[in-house]
């Protein structure tokens, strides 16, 4: 560096010397005795250094940003893929190099005090140097893959219809697992997410709330937990078997005192169901079940006025012994407030218990029955149908007319009816006084079948015993005795 400055200074000094040597003007004058000035040259070299600086300028920065993307792939399971995406940063550095400026000042000091100043200034030269700097940056981005080829399960609901704007509803949702079993045992588990329609009762974990839901696992698995968030409910299950595992969710459950769920506006609503075989990042199943809310209709309040058949029935006897044969039962019907029609007549039907002999129109059968009517009424028909005895009668007087029905009738050679197991049996009786549209009377008769009672029968037993007993025979003797007794009387 010193050698460089020396050369520069020598060149400048040489140039100044030439300048002054060639620049003096020659004049022809008449010599005269003058005194020549003595020139003293003093050179003052002032080095002036312009500060150099380096400026770094970033011209371009290229940055690649990789976001979290769920990419469907065909693979047998969910995988965590790390993707390395380089971020390239290009930096252009501009370097300015300023050269030193040498300022040369020459001062001439003659006797006449004439001073000449010359300044030489060098122009700085700037050199631009671009230094690109590339810095690779690696960013690890997790990418969650979802296998769309795997069957994720199905769901059904019951019932599929509700009346809109009603409370007290219970909806049963059944989810059946797909091709993959759920994670387990705990702390590993899978998640089922169900979102209820807007306007319905919010899902709740409180048993007495309208939206309370109960979970049942009929085909295996372990209930790990339940959770609610807004209109969604979450069920966490471990070890749910593939294909056969079932999760039953009863939304609006009333088992523990809840009132049942409220259903909102009319329309068709999809019950959104999502699941995850492991963890809580759920995905929707292929098909959602739907529920239809029927618009409410005007309510008609019906008053239940039962139609009661007329008349009454008595039975004789009221008690039978169980599992016995040869029995006869007499039923006497007394007409009600209306006279029975002459044509086609009125009808009475009496039902016999199934464990008894079935009613029969055959005289020789154990269940044969016979009917007769009072007060000139006419029996038009007697027939059996299953366990029913059907009798049709014409012109039965009101209030006083009677129909006597003998079940197990023996007068035509029948053996009598068989009575089965013990218990109290209602012989349902239905009547129509003007046709065959029969209605049960107010009080059908009751017959009681009881266990048999113990019986005591006297038994005569003859036993021959040989005993030696002396016989004492009393003897009566009568002896007549005649006694004469003299009597004296003394009189004063």
pLDDT digits (tens, 9 = 90+) for 7-36: 767 777 777 666 655 544 444 444 454 445
d(CA 47, CA 441): 140
> Please, which residues have CB within 8 angstroms of residue 215's CB and are 6 or more apart in sequence?
223, 226, 235, 247, 248, 249, 250
Query: Is residue 199 over pLDDT 80?
Result: yes
Burial annotation 405-437 (CB, 10 A radius, 16+ → b, else e): bbbbbbeeebbbbbbbebeebebebbbbbeeee
Domains and CATH numbers, the chain: 2-18+40-143 (no CATH), 154-294 (2.60.40.3490), 312-450 (2.60.40.740)
Contact indicator for 327, 316 with CB cutoff of 8 Å: no
- Residue-wise pLDDT for 255-267, tens only, equals 999 999 999 999 9
Contact indicator for 71, 83 with CB cutoff of 8 Å: no
Work out the burial of residue 470: count CB atoms within 10 Å of its CB; fewer than 13 is exposed, 13-18 middle, 19 or more buried: exposed
**Cα Dmax for the chain:** 272
Coil/strand/helix, residue 414: coil
- Residue-wise pLDDT for 155-167, tens only, equals 999 999 999 999 9
Q: What pairs with residue 394 in β-bridges?
A: 378
Query: Is residue 91 over pLDDT 90?
Result: no
Contact indicator for 390, 361 with CB cutoff of 8 Å: no
What angle (nearest 5°) sits at the alpha carbon of residue 130, between those of residues 126 and 131?
135
d(CA 235, CA 152): 16
What angle (nearest 5°) sits at the alpha carbon of residue 384, between those of residues 378 and 387?
130
- Residue-wise pLDDT for 57-71, tens only, equals 444 444 544 444 444
Q: What are phi and psi of 162, to 5 degrees?
A: -135, 160
Contact indicator for 402, 335 with CB cutoff of 8 Å: yes
Q: Which of 333, 382, 387 minimizes the C-alpha distance to 356?
A: 387
Q: What mean pLDDT is reported for the chain?
A: 78
d(CA 274, CA 483): 146
Which percentage of the chain shows pLDDT scores above 70? 62
At residue 292 the predicted structure's pLDDT band, cuts being 50, 70 and 90, is very high
Distances (CA, A) of 11 to 4, 107, 123, 328: 11, 18, 16, 161
**Predicted local distance difference test score (pLDDT) of residue 11:** 74
At residue 490 the predicted structure's pLDDT band, cuts being 50, 70 and 90, is low
Contact indicator for 366, 414 with CB cutoff of 8 Å: yes
Contact indicator for 311, 431 with CB cutoff of 8 Å: yes
Whether this prediction's pTM lies above 0.85 is answered by no
- Residue-wise pLDDT for 371-385, tens only, equals 999 999 999 999 999
């Amino acid at each position: 560096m010193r050698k460089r400055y020396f050369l520069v200074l020598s060149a400048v000094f040489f140039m100044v010397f030439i300048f002054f040597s060639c620049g003096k003007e020659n004049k022809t004058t008449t010599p005269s005795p003058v005194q020549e000035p003595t020139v003293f040259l003093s050179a003052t070299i002032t080095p002036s250094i312009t500060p150099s600086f380096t400026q770094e300028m970033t011209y371009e920065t290229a940055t690649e940003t990789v976001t979290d993307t769920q990419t469907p792939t065909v693979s047998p399971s969910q995988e965590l893929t790390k993707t390395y995406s380089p971020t390239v940063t290009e930096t252009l550095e501009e370097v300015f190099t300023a050269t030193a400026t040498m300022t040369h000042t020459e001062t001439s000091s003659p006797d006449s005090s004439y001073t000449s100043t010359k300044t030489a200034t060098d122009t700085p030269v700037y050199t631009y140097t671009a230094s690109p700097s590339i810095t690779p940056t690696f960013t690890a981005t997790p990418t969650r893959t979802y296998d769309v080829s795997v069957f994720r399960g199905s769901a059904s609901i019951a019932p599929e219809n509700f009346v809109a704007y009603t409370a007290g509803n219970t909806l049963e949702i059944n989810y059946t697992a797909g091709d993959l079993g759920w994670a387990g045992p705990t702390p590993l588990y899978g998640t089922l997410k169900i979102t209820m329609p807007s306007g319905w009762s919010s899902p709740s974990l409180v048993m007495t709330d309208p939206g309370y839901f109960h979970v049942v696992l009929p085909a295996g698995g372990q209930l790990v937990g339940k959770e609610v968030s807004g209109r969604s409910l979450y069920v966490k299950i471990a070890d749910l078997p593939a294909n056969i595992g079932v999760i039953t969710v009863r939304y609006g459950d009333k088992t523990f005192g809840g009132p049942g769920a409220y259903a909102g506006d009319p329309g068709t609503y999809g019950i959104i169901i999502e699941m995850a075989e492991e963890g809580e990042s759920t995905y929707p199943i292929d098909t959602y079940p739907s529920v239809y809310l029927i618009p409410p209709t005007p309510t008609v309040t019906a008053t239940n006025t039962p139609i009661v058949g007329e008349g009454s029935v008595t039975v004789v006897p009221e008690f039978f012994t169980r599992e016995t044969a040869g029995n006869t039962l007499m039923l006497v019907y007394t007409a009600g407030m209306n006279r029975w029609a002459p044509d086609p007549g009125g009808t009475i039907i009496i039902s016999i218990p199934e464990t008894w002999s079935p009613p029969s129109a055959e005289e020789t059968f154990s269940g044969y029955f016979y009917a007769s009517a009072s007060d000139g009424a006419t029996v038009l028909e007697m027939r059996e149908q299953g366990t029913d005895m059907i009798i049709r009668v014409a012109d039965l007087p009101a209030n006083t007319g009677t129909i006597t029905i003998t079940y197990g009738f023996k007068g035509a050679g029948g053996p009598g009816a068989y009575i089965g197991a013990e218990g109290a049996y209602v012989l349902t009786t239905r009547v129509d006084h003007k046709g065959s549209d029969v209605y049960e009377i107010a009080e059908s008769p009751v017959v009681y079948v009881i266990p048999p009672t113990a019986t005591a029968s006297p038994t005569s037993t003859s036993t021959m015993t040989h005993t030696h007993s002396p016989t004492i025979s009393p003897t009566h003797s009568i002896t007549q005795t005649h006694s004469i007794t003299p009597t004296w009387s003394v009189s004063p």
